[in-house]
Copies of this chain bind each other. A is one copy, B any other.
Amino acid sequence: HQTIPVGIINLGTSENKLCFDLLQKRLMRPDMLQIEPAFLQYPDWKGHSFLREEVAKFLSHYCCSPKPLKPKNVVVMNGCGSLFSALAATLCDPEDAILIPSPFYGVITEDVGLYSSVKLHHVPLYSQVPTGSDVRPFQLTVEKLENSLKEAKKEGLNIKALILLNPHNPLGEVYSSEEMISFLEFAKMHKLHVIVDEIYMLSVFNETDTFHSVLSLDGFPDPQRTHIMWGVSKDFAMAGMRVGMVYSENRDLVQALDQLGCFHGVPGPTQYQMAQLLRDRDWLNSEFLPENRRRLREAHSFMTEELKKQDIPFLHRSAGFFIWADLSKYLREKTFAEELSLWRCFLKHKVLLSCGQAFSCVSPGWFRIIFTDQLHKLKLGLSIAHFHFSSCILVVSPMEWDKM
């Protein structure tokens, strides 16, 4: 055990740690240090107008919207968790529910539940697909949405909205425009609000998966009920900056979010810095975005090669910071109790992963593995995991792992 470090190798938290050098250099340029009276005074709770203007321009450009997006439709808050909380509070009453395809980034359950007492109703997606079909594992379809909605209504749930993650966390799935339109049409038919979380939109690192923002569509089926989220946490690798935004044409929603905005304010100087960053197209297009994609591709490639060496099946996608991998061959039984034991075994040996049940996956054994860290850490994490796979997993019972 002498090579195992004191800290935990965190392959569980979805952060991009590959670009700190680029970000530090940019964020420490003197243009970032600016203080104006408005920055120190109570702001417009939807965000300062200078920032909302930059967000509208930025999204118009990078989402390829057919018409310029309007600053008045932008609301800025301290992170997308805050936005989920505020959207749940405004779109739903307590105990109402929101449809969400599972597996999904599990923290959303707390985001909508802790303050707003809103529930999530899962639309289960399955790893198994009929032999010979062209259905993808975990593929979302309108039929599945329809079935889950019916089932929810049978249970007496009041479904108010649908959450779609694109690119999807943890699947890495990128929806085609046709798929997305079909989901939006489904929502329109049932008068559901749709929250489309596009927080990984600039983290698609191979051309095999081309991202199409909902904002690139020539009009939405139901614009008053379509709300798009983005933020700097993932695509700009700044989860600690706490800046998220929603784009919505619904004036009532914008006004309601304004009311809740006093709990989710972003500091004036931070708003200024984010505006500087969004408008710096030179840096974005020549430095940050291509280099970030290159590093994402490289780290992803390393991790997938390692998984192949171990004969671990995984979804081959090229978006996000994670690989959705099937470790079920290491379970003694295909149960969630066994999955939890495997998760705990990793943690005891200082490797943190996210297990499928934390994301409400319906098949046990799937794990989300973050690959966006320095190679030496990934290597160390994997070698620890591998050591335990080969030496103990097949001979030690779950209860004995817990004592390790």
Residues of B within 8 A of A27 (CB): 35, 269
Residue contact B266 to A263, C-beta cutoff 8 Å: no
Interface size on A, residues (CB 8 A): 52
A13 to B45, CA, bound (A): 14
Of all chain B residues, the one with the shortest Cβ separation from A268 is B240
User: Which one of B23, B40, B239, B259 contacts A238 once the chains associate, using CB atoms below 8 Å?
Assistant: B40
A82-B263, A262-B79, A264-B78 as given contacts; A41 in contact with B28, CB under 8 Å: no
Copies in the complex: 2
Instruction: Tell me, yes or no, whether A281 is within 8 Å of chain B by CB.
Output: no
Residues of B within 8 A of A33 (CB): 28, 30, 32-33
Residue contact A241 to B264, C-beta cutoff 8 Å: no
Interface residues of A in 369-397 (CB under 8 A from B): none
A273 to B79, CA, bound (A): 20
Of all chain B residues, the one with the shortest Cβ separation from A13 is B42
Within the complex, what minimum Cβ distance (angstroms) separates A42 from chain B?
Answer: 5
Instruction: Tell me, yes or no, whether A58 is within 8 Å of chain B by CB.
Output: no
Of all chain B residues, the one with the shortest Cβ separation from A34 is B28
Residue contact A240 to B89, C-beta cutoff 8 Å: no
Residue contact B263 to A264, C-beta cutoff 8 Å: yes
Query: Which positions in A face B, CB cutoff 8 Å?
Result: 13, 15, 17, 20, 23-24, 27-28, 30, 32-35, 37-43, 78-79, 81-82, 85, 89, 94, 107, 110-111, 114-116, 237-243, 259-260, 262-270, 273
